[in-house]
């Protein structure tokens, strides 16, 4: 596999200069290439062009880097749910009954594709966790919380008749987001496919299927 060189910002005397965010960006690339468990601080230091002590100036170790990375992905995904939760309230905080749960669910899928594209390396790392550490277990617990909130919305969508009610909402939600998450395996931002086109197509297929307009 051909690796894309990591570009290091130059500091004084040609030494790389990093803040925590730029250090995290490089670390996520390495974690995705080698696997988190297969990456040691020595490898991170080599790729960054820093001493290990310089890395420790910014973070306590690779566990903190992992936690920062997966929380970035999770925070972005939960923000999508919170956007929809806020939209449920109209003037004076009363429930907004003009927007259906089905419409909200469609917007969540659409926005989740946008988040995945914007935070692709971080979401990729999140989806590859195995639960081998406390950091990973906490991240997986947050993923379960996300799934639960999606299932609640799917239940409301089924109750209002917007989606079929004969499929368990937890299963339906996992299938929907399993499809969204599969994009990390092939989607690349540099290809001739806009995020908007991708999000529109995926949302349409997931909710309307592949039947042609004249199909019975």
pLDDT one-digit tens code per residue, 116-126: 999 999 999 99
| % pLDDT > 90, the chain | 78
Beta carbons of 189 and 120 less than 8 angstroms apart: yes
- The confidence score (pLDDT) of residue 146 equals 97
- The confidence score (pLDDT) of residue 106 equals 97
Tokens standing for residue 74: 């999770």
Radius of gyration of the chain (CA): 20
Q: How many CB atoms lie within 10 A of CB 105?
A: 24
Average pLDDT, integer, range 30-39: 96
Tokens standing for residue 194: 């806009």
Tokens standing for residue 193: 């496919």
| Residue 104 exposed, middle or buried by CB count within 10 Å (0-12, 13-18, 19+) | buried
Is residue 216 predicted with pLDDT exceeding 90?
Answer: no
- The confidence score (pLDDT) of residue 144 equals 96
Q: What angle do CA 171, 162, 167 make, to 5 degrees?
A: 25
**Cβ contacts of 61 within 8 Å, gap of 6 or more:** 41
- The confidence score (pLDDT) of residue 211 equals 79
Beta carbons of 9 and 16 less than 8 angstroms apart: yes
87 vs 71: CA distance, rounded Å: 24
Closest CA to 128 of 80, 182, 78: 182
- The confidence score (pLDDT) of residue 212 equals 77
56 vs 3: CA distance, rounded Å: 26
Give 3-state DSSP helix, strand, coil % of the chain, rounded to 5: 65, 0, 30
């Amino acid at each position: 596999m051909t690796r894309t060189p990591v570009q290091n910002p130059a500091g004084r005397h040609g030494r790389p200069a990093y803040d925590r965010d730029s250090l995290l960006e490089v670390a996520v690339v390495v974690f995705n290439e080698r696997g988190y468990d297969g990456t040691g601080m020595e490898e991170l230091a080599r790729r960054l062009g820093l001493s290990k002590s310089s890395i420790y100036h910014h973070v306590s170790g690779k566990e903190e880097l992992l936690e920062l990375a997966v929380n970035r992905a999770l925070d972005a995904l939960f923000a999508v749910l919170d956007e929809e939760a806020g939209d449920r309230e109209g003037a004076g905080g009363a429930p907004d009954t003009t927007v259906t749960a089905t419409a909200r669910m469609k917007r969540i899928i659409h926005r989740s594709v946008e988040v995945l594209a914007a935070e692709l390396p971080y979401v990729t790392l999140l989806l590859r966790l195995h639960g081998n550490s406390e950091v990973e277990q906490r991240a997986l617990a947050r993923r379960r919380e996300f799934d639960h909130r999606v299932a609640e919305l799917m239940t409301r969508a089924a109750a209002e008749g917007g989606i079929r009610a004969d499929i368990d909402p937890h299963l339906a939600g996992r299938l929907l987001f399993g499809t969204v998450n599969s994009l990390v395996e092939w989607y690349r931002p540099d290809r001739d496919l806009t995020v908007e086109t991708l999000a529109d197509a995926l949302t349409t297929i997931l909710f309307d299927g592949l039947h042609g307009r004249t199909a019975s």
